[in-house]
Amino acid sequence: MKKYIIKRLCMSIVMIFGVSIIIFVLIQSQPGNPYSTMLSPNISKEAIENMLHKIGYYDPLWLKYVKWFKMSIAWDFGYSIKYKIPVLDVIVPRLFNTFILSLTSFIISAIVAILSGVYAASNKNSFFDKASGFLAFVFLSIPTFFFGLILVKWFSFDINILPTSGMVTIDKDYSGFYYIIDVAKHMIMPTIVLSLTQIATLFKYTRSSMIDSLEKQYIITARAKGLNRRKTIWKHGFKNSMISIITILCMQMPSLFSGALITETIFIWPGIGRLNYDAVVSRDYPLIMAIAMITAIIIIFSNFLADILYAVIDPRIRLNKN
């Protein structure tokens, strides 16, 4: 097991290194000077050129990358062009806000989708199976922004029970328990929007995997030996479907971050998705590269976690791949 983990960890590190090169080259290849928006028009061209030489703007691309990568290893991504403070100081609070929203959505979508997927598979062609399949198709078909706008209209304007946007009520200075309640109220609609697509995707995978497991010969044998239906489904069927379910669960984690871009923009949630949008609009290259790298690390870590969980659930995997 130790050898398997070390092998997967080394592969992940190599992938991070490769991704860092791609991200850096793509961003640095963009035309124009990203620092032009932060310079006063009263500064002379000579002073501007001296400043650009000093910060390494005219350095060869490989030298720029070496400097940036050395800083990145120490989690120093430089200074934000727009905010004029260290990039990490901009990202960390926003990343925490996205983490709260994504984690809540992940837990809700995992519980709802797995339970409904297992029930639908164990009652194939029932009304629940057909209805849930139809709803999953609808949720996958409706654009996220459209569904978000519908929720805003219903809950914020028609019924007027939930705030339209933001993370806290601006004109209120809540603290303690009341602050938590205020944040929770602002989270309801973004969480629903972020969860629905995840629920639909995970439901379809869970149902498909469970149907395949329940049609295996060992399930029929277990039932023939007198094992009750519930234990057969959960102890044998669900356990043998776990690898497929873990795959999609781990892949949902990075998709939650990418889905947060639209969701956070709609609800003006101060998270990493909204920050990424602002960074692109402002051409804040250090901030864009840092966000892209952090997102890539999350995706690679999710794949690494999936590999480890595979080996824990099914020891044959690590024996075959060592």
Look at residue 137 and tell me if it is in a domain: yes
CA distance 232 to 219: 7
pLDDT, position 129 = 86
pLDDT, position 283 = 81
Domain CATH code at residue 220 = 1.10.3720.10
Mean pLDDT of the chain: 80
Look at residue 75 and tell me if it is in a domain: no
- Secondary structure of residue 169 in the 3-state scheme: coil
Look at residue 272 and tell me if it is in a domain: yes
Look at residue 286 and tell me if it is in a domain: yes
Instruction: Please enumerate in sequence order all residues whose Cβ is within 8 A of that of 27, keeping only pairs 6 or more positions apart, or say none.
Output: 285, 288, 289, 292
pLDDT, position 44 = 65
The pairs formed by 233-238 with CB atoms below 8 angstroms and a separation of 24 or more are: 233/118, 233/122, 234/118, 237/118, 237/121, 237/122, 237/210, 237/213, 238/118, 238/210, 238/213
Q: Could you tell me the two tokens for 124?
A: 């194939």
pLDDT, position 232 = 76
Q: How many residues does the chain have?
A: 322
- Secondary structure of residue 322 in the 3-state scheme: coil
Question: In total, how many domains does the chain have?
Answer: 1
Look at residue 87 and tell me if it is in a domain: no
Name the H helices within the chain.
2-28, 45-54, 61-73, 87-122, 127-141, 144-151, 177-214, 217-224, 229-231, 239-267, 272-282, 285-313, 315-321
Walk along the chain (322 residues) and give the pLDDT tens digit of each residue: 677 778 878 888 888 888 888 888 888 777 766 666 655 566 666 776 677 777 666 778 888 888 888 888 888 888 888 888 888 888 888 888 888 888 888 888 889 988 888 888 888 888 888 898 888 888 888 777 788 888 888 888 888 888 888 888 877 777 778 888 888 888 888 888 888 878 888 888 888 888 887 777 777 777 777 777 777 777 767 777 777 777 777 777 766 766 677 788 788 888 887 788 888 888 888 888 888 888 888 888 877 877 777 767 666 555 555 5
- The string of pLDDT tens digits covering residues 244-260 is 777 777 777 766 766 67
CA distance 193 to 213: 31
Look at residue 269 and tell me if it is in a domain: yes
Tell me how far the alpha carbon of residue 143 is from its chain's centroid: 17
Domain span at 284: 92-321
pLDDT, position 35 = 64
Look at residue 244 and tell me if it is in a domain: yes
CB 20 within 8 A of CB 67: no
Q: Across the chain, which distance is largest between two alpha carbons, in Å?
A: 88
CB 33 within 8 A of CB 321: no
Look at residue 82 and tell me if it is in a domain: no
pTM of the prediction? 0.75
pLDDT, position 41 = 62
